[in-house]
């Protein structure tokens, strides 16, 4: 302990950001939080955390082992992890170039394109699912041809889950990467191109390493969003254990007749999400 004696009052103070902490942090942040900000901030925190705590309190701890060792739960969890990861990969492959386009290339209607790209963020996921059905369903605008030319139908398949999740999650990645790209100095790229690198080489060797933390942050966000995706998935991909039944679907259906199982499943999903977000957030999100 290099700080002043931690007596009771000081300990309480440091919890609420009082004097001792201020002395420690003064160089970095420039003072403790004023009360008019601190109180609503804490209410905000409680608002977000309380429901999750309630889940812990109401959890059927005694029957938990039985609930969690069923094959259906493992199938659903496994499928969730695989699909969320695949959806993130898809988002990276097509989302990063899209973000680059939005950040670096001037073209007419860029504002509109940006709005369209972020639309899935605000759209109810069920609407996304219906839209996907209209586009890629067996009878859809594009899906009709996929079916008659390649015999490929996407609804009710694991690929369908990945597509639904990518549709909903990719905007998170695009927004994050675009923001990082705008903050990154384009002169590095320009220097690289004047030294003879092609634009793609400059992107690959200069820009990408420069914005890596932003890409990683976006990927984590997209992954977490994909993991929690429900509406578009159940609408577009349906619900079949082991093939399209991800954890959120399992939770929803369990809630119909076995709320305890639903709570247990929710906790698993919560634990996985928190583990990943907490493990990566400090490293990537603040690095950008």
Partner 1 sequence: MTRSVRRTRRMMQVTGVGAAALLALSACSSSDDDASAGSDASASASSSKLSGEVTVFAAASLKESFETLGRQFEKAHPGTKVTFSFGGSDALAASITGGAPADVFASASPKTMKIVTDAGDNATDPATFVRNQLEIATLPRNPDKVGSLKDLTDSDLKVVLCDKTVPCGAAAEKALTASKLKLTPVSYEEDVKSALNKVVLKEADAAVVYKTDVKAAGDKVEGVEFPESADAINDYPITLLKESKNTGTAKAFIALVQSAEGQKVLTAAGFLQP
Residue 95 sits in the site that holds partner 1 (CB under 8 A): no
Position among 244, 246, 266, 288 found at the interface with partner 1 (CB under 8 A): 244
Among the listed ranges 39-47, 207-215, 219-227, 257-265, the one in contact with partner 1 (CB under 8 A) is 257-265
Q: How does DSSP assign the chain, residue by residue?
A: --SSP--HHHHHHHHTT-HHHHHHHHHHHSSPPPHHHHHHHHHHHHHHHHHHHHHHHH--GGGHHHHHSSHHHHHHHHHHHHHHHHHHHHHHHHHHHHHHHHHH---TTHHHHHHHHHHHHHS-HHHHHHHHHHHHSTTSTTHHHHHHHH----TTSHHHHHHHHHHHHHHHHHHHHHHHHHHS-HHHHHHHHHTT--HHHHIIIIIHHHHHHHHHHHHHHHHHHHHT--HHHHHHT---TTTT--HHHHHHHHHHH-HHHHHHHHHHHHHHHHHHHHHHIIIIITT-
Position among 238, 270, 280, 285 found at the interface with partner 1 (CB under 8 A): 238
Among the listed ranges 96-104, 209-217, 218-226, 237-245, the one in contact with partner 1 (CB under 8 A) is 237-245
Among the listed ranges 99-107, 169-177, 199-207, 253-261, the one in contact with partner 1 (CB under 8 A) is 253-261
* Total residues at interface with partner 1 (CB under 8 A): 22
Position among 127, 239, 277, 280 found at the interface with partner 1 (CB under 8 A): 239
Residue 73 sits in the site that holds partner 1 (CB under 8 A): no
Position among 62, 69, 71, 257 found at the interface with partner 1 (CB under 8 A): 257
Among the listed ranges 108-116, 208-216, 256-264, 266-274, the one in contact with partner 1 (CB under 8 A) is 256-264
Cβ–Cβ < 8 Å for 224, 275: no
| Least distance CB 247 / partner 1 (angstroms) | 15
Site string for partner 1, 124-153 (x = CB under 8 A): ---------x---xxx--------------
Cβ–Cβ < 8 Å for 171, 121: yes
| Least distance CB 138 / partner 1 (angstroms) | 5
Among the listed ranges 49-57, 89-97, 173-181, 250-258, the one in contact with partner 1 (CB under 8 A) is 250-258
Kindly list the residues in this chain that would bind partner 1 in the complex (CB under 8 A). 133, 137-139, 155-156, 234-235, 237-241, 244-245, 252-254, 256-259
């Amino acid at each position: 302990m290099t700080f002043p004696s931690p007596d009771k009052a000081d300990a309480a103070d440091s919890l609420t950001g009082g004097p001792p902490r201020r002395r420690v942090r003064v160089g970095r942040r420039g003072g403790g939080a004023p009360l008019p900000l601190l109180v609503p901030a804490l209410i905000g925190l409680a608002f977000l955390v309380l429901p999750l705590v309630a889940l812990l309190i109401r959890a059927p701890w005694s029957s938990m082992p039985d609930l969690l060792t069923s094959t259906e739960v493992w199938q659903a969890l496994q499928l969730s992890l695989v699909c969320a990861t695949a959806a993130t990969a898809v988002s990276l492959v097509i989302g990063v170039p899209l973000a680059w386009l939005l950040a670096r290339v001037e073209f007419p209607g860029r504002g509109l394109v940006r709005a369209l790209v972020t639309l899935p963020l605000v759209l109810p996921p069920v609407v996304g699912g219906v839209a996907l059905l209209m586009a890629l369903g067996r009878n859809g605008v594009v899906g009709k041809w996929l079916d008659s030319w390649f015999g490929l139908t996407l609804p009710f398949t694991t690929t369908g889950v990945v597509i639904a999740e990518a549709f909903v999650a990719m905007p998170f990645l695009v927004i994050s990467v675009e923001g990082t790209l705008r903050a990154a100095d384009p002169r590095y790229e320009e220097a690289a191109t004047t030294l003879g690198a092609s634009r793609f080489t400059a992107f690959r060797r200069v820009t990408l390493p420069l914005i890596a933390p932003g890409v990683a942050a976006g990927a984590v966000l997209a992954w977490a969003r994909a993991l929690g995706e429900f509406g578009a998935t159940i609408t577009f991909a349906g619900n079949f254990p082991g093939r399209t039944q991800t954890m959120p679907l399992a939770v929803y259906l369990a809630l119909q007749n076995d709320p305890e199982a639903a709570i247990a499943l929710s906790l698993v999903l919560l634990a996985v999400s928190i583990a990943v977000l907490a493990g990566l957030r400090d490293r990537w999100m603040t690095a950008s």
